[in-house]
Structure 1
Amino acid sequence: MAIDVKIPPMGESITSGVLAKWHVADGTIVKKDQPLFELETDKITSEGTAEADGKLTIKVAAGTDVKIGEVVATIDETATAGASVPAASSQKLEVENQKSGDVVASPAVRRLAAETGIDPATVTGTGKAGRVTKGDMLAASVSKPPFAAPAPAATAPVAAPSVASAKERQTRTKMSKLRQTIAKRLVSAQHEAAMLTTFNEVDMSAVMELRKKYQDDFVKKHGVKLGFMSFFTKAVVHALREVPGVNATIDGDTVVQNHYYDISMAVSTDKGLMVPVIRGCDTLDMAGIEKAIAETAKKAREGKIGLDDLSGGVFTITNGGIFGSMLSTPILNAPQSAILGLHAINERPIALNGQVVIRPMMYLALSYDHRLVDGKEAVTFLVKVKQAIEDPARLLIGA
């Protein structure tokens, strides 16, 4: 009996996508729940899996535009695991279908295996059915040094190479649906909003001392590290309450005032920037925020983010500091009216109580829609964030 492999539904607003790649070759014997292909849409990237064991027959080539519900392959359940695989594809399958035990590795895991030299079969998987995840590979790589490049063999001098052809000098790749949408949204935000950015700097001493003092106890109790993002999330919620004008959006000629605190967190992935939402940040404690951020970031990097994860945020936090950014002007995440940019922490001399002292300082950047938020509100909001970080006790008493 042959089972149709169809493009799965992605949500009401998604009707088509691009079948970006096949993870297995035509004629492969596949297992139930094994990843078969990668689908790119204008909002998310996801994987299609096998619904049964059997032999796969591919009907649609990689790179083809497909519609939701379209049949792209079939699985013959009557085929056995001993069925032959086309000889031409055996070498390709050896690379593409790396496994951890009986569980097929995801593209992210295969890429990390190639980069680190770690065999996924030697890593204990924490995913579904013992599947090795990207997080498992990253954790395993911490204790293992990266590939050591082999010493180059002595060779005789050779003549200088000729100028490379145009084809060798460039590689042209079609922009993914997700990247196209990101580009359109960023350009649209700049064209439609009267965007302005205000800056401030914050002394991170108090937060760093708190993390150092309570980190071990926090990890033992909650199983997650106490990071900077939970402090800034709480500070943002505090500032939104103090300056509610920032927690609003423009809908045509109407101002929509939000009375909830779902905060969007920018996450960098291999497919591009995604901004999943952490719900109810005003009701979560520090541990709850840290767990939610970790789980959401993991889903984003593994390509498991859904449409519901990306919608409904009222304010965005983006942290370019993890990449070493000193200062930037973040672009609004429409239809939101403001976004906070965090940057690298660097020790700098500052004047404190008439003396020059060295402190771990971070630049903050608040970009906002000047059509809705006035300069006074924006500056006040940023000052409230600064005060909450420099004196975290304010978050407890609401000052």
Structure 2
Amino acid sequence: MATEIKAPTFPESVAEGTVAAWHKKPGDSVERDELIVEIETDKVVLEVLAPEAGTLSDVMAEEGDTVESEQVLGKLGAAGDAKSGDGEKAEKREKEEGAAKASASEGGKASGGKQHDVKAPSFPESIQEGTVATWHKKVGEAVKRDEVLADIETDKVVLEVVAPADGALAEIKAEEGSQVESEAVLAVFTEGAGGDSGAGESQSASASEGSDDDGADEKVGDKIVAPAARKMIAEHDLDVSRIEGTGKGGRVLKEDVQKAVKDGSAKKAAKSSAPAKKAAAPVAEGDRAEKRVPMTRLRKTIAKRLVEAQQTAAMLTTYNEVDMGAVMNLRAQYKETFQKAHDTKLGFMGFFVKAASEALKRFPDVNASIDGDEIVYHGFQDIGVAVSTDRGLVVPVLRDTDAMKIADVEKGIVDFGRRARDGKLGIDEMQGGTFTITNGGIFGSLLSTPIINPPQTAILGMHKIQERPMAVNGKVEIRPMMYLALSYDHRMIDGKDAVQFLVTIKNLLEDPARLLLDV
């Protein structure tokens, strides 16, 4: 009996989705919980897994089709039943694919394969455009289905564009650094192409003769330049017309560029349009290289939001210090047992998130946000945790932290950190949030002033744990102390509430039993 493969249940805010990619063809065997198809919505890509082991017998929603929540996408037959039901489609498709492979093996033109427009993903409403960050494949280079072709950098995340089938890029229409809109055509893709065939035929032919590196030659001015040579020319900012090519047909090789760099014969002449002041500046001897690169879209967004926060909010910061001895002793006592039980390390952030959740319940003004002339009071605690990456700071959000256990918090933060560094965080995971925690202590910061993350009204800054002499019951003791900083919007939060909120967090951390007893 055939089993129906249905689309997932979409959230209320998502009305429909698009079949992005089938990972199996009719007639293919699948295992239980194996990925079959991906559904792309306005916000995320949802994976549809096999409900049981069997054979994909029918595809009822092709790639590109619009589907609704829980719509039937296909059918799954018994294992080995490749021709059951509507299996004739599978047989027909197999024959077509066999013919295509046969023609390819006989040296048929790759350009004769089916062509696709490679489009940018559908951006959410909050994102207007993106930047082509990187092309991972060149024109004519063979790629496999679902292999990453390009990265699109938006204000919040990096989106991957994958190959629709086995083949090669025939043409790139949006170069690296260009701005693209939602679903803009980035390139033309040819099925079955690749290697020395199709679009890359003429380029790879010249590259194969005396080539010292991978990739395709490119004509720069009146010179044919090898890829490795082209890279060195860009790095040293050389005038290619002044480099003598020793390769076949005057091709400029890597060795030619190295020679030009060594004897300094291909340096670009100074531009006459440069300001006189800059031209007259003395040149110091030695390596004083400068590199000028455009600011990434994420970095520009961070800068814009931070400046906006300081210009629109009446921001103040209150400070306090917390004795971390009790938390450190608890952590040292149970860290091995905790890791065995929960398969994650026991850190400090779990305690801070739980303490902040409890304090937010007691001080609802700190958990509120400002929307125009209105105040929005949130009946839940969604805490964002700032994560530093090579691309900049991102703030994924832990949802309903008051209901989470410390182990859940620690697992969530580890997962966020790993995926943030890989650029795999979803847009919905960084939206919302009623409060933010940032930890400069991991980089050694002793004291800092965090900036509010709009439209939130407060942010907590953690810092380095430093042993300091403290007066304890009339005696001087060396205690592990941490400075805490709470930046808050005075339009919404009074100083008294801000101070008491921070003192509540201090008390909960200095006596962790309060977190368990809710006192």
**Structure 1 residue identity aligned to 2:125:** E
Aligned residue for 1:42, secondary structure, equals coil
1:91 to 213, 217, 227: 213
In the other structure, the counterpart of 2:189 is 75
Aligned residue for 2:344, secondary structure, equals coil
**1:55 Cα deviation after fit:** 1.4
In the other structure, the counterpart of 1:275 is 395
**Contact 2:167 2:189 (8 Å CA) reproduced:** yes
Looking at structure 2, the residues matched to 322 and 14 of structure 1 have their Cα atoms a distance apart, in angstroms, of 32
Structure 1 gaps of 5+ residues are: 95-161
1:1-399 aligned within 5 A: 1-57=114-170, 58-79=172-193, 86=204, 87=207, 91=213, 163=284, 169-399=289-519
The change in CA–CA distance for 1:90 and 1:234 in structure 2 (over 3 A counts) is farther
The Cα RMSD (Å) is 2.2
Aligned residue for 1:91, secondary structure, equals coil
Looking at structure 1, the residues matched to 408 and 387 of structure 2 have their Cα atoms a distance apart, in angstroms, of 18
Query: Larger Cα Rg: Structure 1 or Structure 2?
Result: 2
Deviations along 1:11-57, one digit per CA (max 9) or x if unpaired, are: 12223211012122222101122121121122222222212111123
Looking at structure 2, the residues matched to 255 and 65 of structure 1 have their Cα atoms a distance apart, in angstroms, of 36
**1:92 Cα deviation after fit:** 5.4
Looking at structure 2, the residues matched to 333 and 185 of structure 1 have their Cα atoms a distance apart, in angstroms, of 8
Deviates more, 1:72-81 or 1:237-246: 72-81
**1:79 Cα deviation after fit:** 2.2
Looking at structure 2, the residues matched to 55 and 252 of structure 1 have their Cα atoms a distance apart, in angstroms, of 50
In the other structure, the counterpart of 1:143 is none
Deviations along 1:282-326, one digit per CA (max 9) or x if unpaired, are: 111111111111112222111112221111100000000000001
**1:360 Cα deviation after fit:** 1.0
Looking at structure 1, the residues matched to 157 and 382 of structure 2 have their Cα atoms a distance apart, in angstroms, of 20
The change in CA–CA distance for 1:70 and 1:319 in structure 2 (over 3 A counts) is same
Aligned residue for 2:401, secondary structure, equals coil
Aligned residue for 2:339, secondary structure, equals helix
Structure 2 gaps of 5+ residues are: 1-113, 217-282
How many residue pairs end up in the alignment? 332
Looking at structure 1, the residues matched to 407 and 479 of structure 2 have their Cα atoms a distance apart, in angstroms, of 27
Deviations along 1:333-383, one digit per CA (max 9) or x if unpaired, are: 000000000001111111111111111111100000011111110110000
Looking at structure 2, the residues matched to 13 and 393 of structure 1 have their Cα atoms a distance apart, in angstroms, of 42
In the other structure, the counterpart of 1:158 is none
**Structure 2 residue identity aligned to 1:68:** S
Looking at structure 2, the residues matched to 5 and 356 of structure 1 have their Cα atoms a distance apart, in angstroms, of 69
Looking at structure 1, the residues matched to 132 and 401 of structure 2 have their Cα atoms a distance apart, in angstroms, of 36
**Contact 1:53 1:75 (8 Å CA) reproduced:** no
Aligned residue for 1:304, secondary structure, equals coil
**1:91 Cα deviation after fit:** 3.3
Looking at structure 2, the residues matched to 396 and 90 of structure 1 have their Cα atoms a distance apart, in angstroms, of 66
The percent identity for this pair of structures is 53
Larger relative contact order (CA 8 Å, sep ≥ 6): 1
TM-score scaled by length of structure 2: 0.61
Aligned residue for 1:244, secondary structure, equals coil
**Structure 2 residue identity aligned to 1:54:** G
Looking at structure 2, the residues matched to 60 and 294 of structure 1 have their Cα atoms a distance apart, in angstroms, of 35
Aligned residue for 2:213, secondary structure, equals helix
**Contact 1:45 1:178 (8 Å CA) reproduced:** no
The change in CA–CA distance for 1:79 and 1:184 in structure 2 (over 3 A counts) is same
**1:168 Cα deviation after fit:** 5.5
Deviations along 1:43-85, one digit per CA (max 9) or x if unpaired, are: 2222222121111232321111112111212222122567577
Looking at structure 1, the residues matched to 448 and 406 of structure 2 have their Cα atoms a distance apart, in angstroms, of 27
**Contact 2:140 2:193 (8 Å CA) reproduced:** no
**Structure 2 residue identity aligned to 1:286:** I
